[in-house]
Structures are given as C-alpha cells and as structure tokens.
Amino acid sequence: MHPLTPRPMRLLLVEFDELYARYRCRHSQTGINVIHLIALAGIWYAVYGLLYWLMPIEWLLAVPAGLYLAVLAPSLPARILAATALFLALIIAAVLLLPQPPFWVFLIVIPVLYKVQSWSHRFYTVETDMTEFNKKYTKGFILFVVLLWYEVPIVLNFLLFAPNPSMSLAGREALERGPSQAS
C-alpha cells in the first residue's frame, strides 16, 4: 500500500484505494461486509422499487443506474465498476421480475436496513487505527456523500477481490495497518 496522497478529499473524484483502506480499518471482517451488502441490496431494491412505483416505466430504471456508474467510473478499477454494474442490474431485475409490495413497505425497509448496517458494528468490533485517515477524511457532509456513493463498490471489492482470507498473518497485518504505516 502507498502513503496517503497529499490531495484533499474530493466529492467526485476519489482515491479509491485510500477510501478502501480507510474502510478496512473498521470493516475488516467478512461477516460485517456480508451484512452490509445484504442491507445495501435491500436499500437499493427499496429505492428502485419506490422509483418504479412512482413511474412504472421499465427503461427509466436504467437512467439513475447509468448516472451512478458514470459518477463512479473515473475513480474505480474496471473490475469493481463491472461488479457494481452487475449489482445494479440484479437490483433492477428484482424490481421488474418480483411481485411488488405496497409502496409503504419500501419506506419502512430503507431505515430498518440502514439500522441493521449500524447495528452490525456491535457484533463485529475489530478495528485498527484510523488516525492518519481521519486527518484527510474528516467527518462531515463530503465524507457522508462519498461513503454513500462508494459503499457498494467498497463492499463488493472486499467480498469479490480482496486478498485471500487465508493469506499469512504478516500479510493481513500489513494490509490492516493501512497506507500510512506500510513500507
């Protein structure tokens, strides 16, 4: 891993490797990432379900997905962008092919699954030092939006492309130390 870049945190063009390394400080366990992906899939399904309920035009669901991918494309490696596109395609297919619940169910699902994500931190408590990341990635509106946009690609990267969990202990520790402490 490389040290943090001197560039400030940006809203549209992010340093994905840094953002991913920051995420790994609190989300290095597989279980929390699986829970987050399930919750994210449910939230996205509910958002697209609401959109389809408001405007039941099939092709219209591709518009926000395309815009979202266009925003992500400059910052993501191709394989993560492709995985994110597949994730969105599956969500849209589910909205179009599964029986639709009443619209109010979607309104309940979104905050409940958001809380499920939050509660998962009670069970998965492994954390590493985020001091260096916190200097660059300060809490606030920009970080909130960046994480909102990039959480799906980050979780997909962890679950699909992260180093093998059976890697050596030294390798895992080096990865968990983060970019500021790696040699």
Is 1 a residue whose pLDDT tops 90?
no
Mean pLDDT, to the nearest integer, of 43-56?
97
**pLDDT tens digits, residue range 59-88?**
999 999 999 999 999 999 999 999 999 999
Cα 21 to Cα 179: distance, rounded to the nearest angstrom: 7
Could you tell me how far CA 41 lies from the centroid of its own chain? 10
Cα 103 to Cα 88: distance, rounded to the nearest angstrom: 20
* DSSP codes joined into one string, 126-153: -----HHHHHHS-SSHHHHHHHHHHHHH
Residue 182 within any structural domain of the chain: no
Residue 6 within any structural domain of the chain: no
Return the pLDDT at 174.
45
Residue type, 72: L
- Residue 136 CB neighbour total at 10 angstroms: 17
pLDDT band at 170 (very low <50, low <70, confident <90, very high): very low
Return the pLDDT at 86.
98
- Residue 26 CB neighbour total at 10 angstroms: 15
Return the pLDDT at 41.
98
Cα 77 to Cα 169: distance, rounded to the nearest angstrom: 27
Return the pLDDT at 3.
64
Residue 172 within any structural domain of the chain: yes
Residue 75 within any structural domain of the chain: yes
Residue 100 within any structural domain of the chain: yes
What token pair was written down for 120? 């998962």
Cα 51 to Cα 68: distance, rounded to the nearest angstrom: 15
**Do residues 175 and 1 touch, judged by C-beta distance below 8 A?**
yes
**Do residues 142 and 11 touch, judged by C-beta distance below 8 A?**
yes
Residue 183 within any structural domain of the chain: no
Residue 35 within any structural domain of the chain: yes
Domain of 98, in residue numbers: 16-177
Return the pLDDT at 37.
97
Residue 130's SS3 state is coil
Return the pLDDT at 138.
85
Count of domains in the chain? 1
Is 111 a residue whose pLDDT tops 90?
yes
Return the pLDDT at 163.
65
In this prediction the pTM is 0.84
Mean pLDDT, to the nearest integer, of 107-125?
95
Residue 173 within any structural domain of the chain: yes
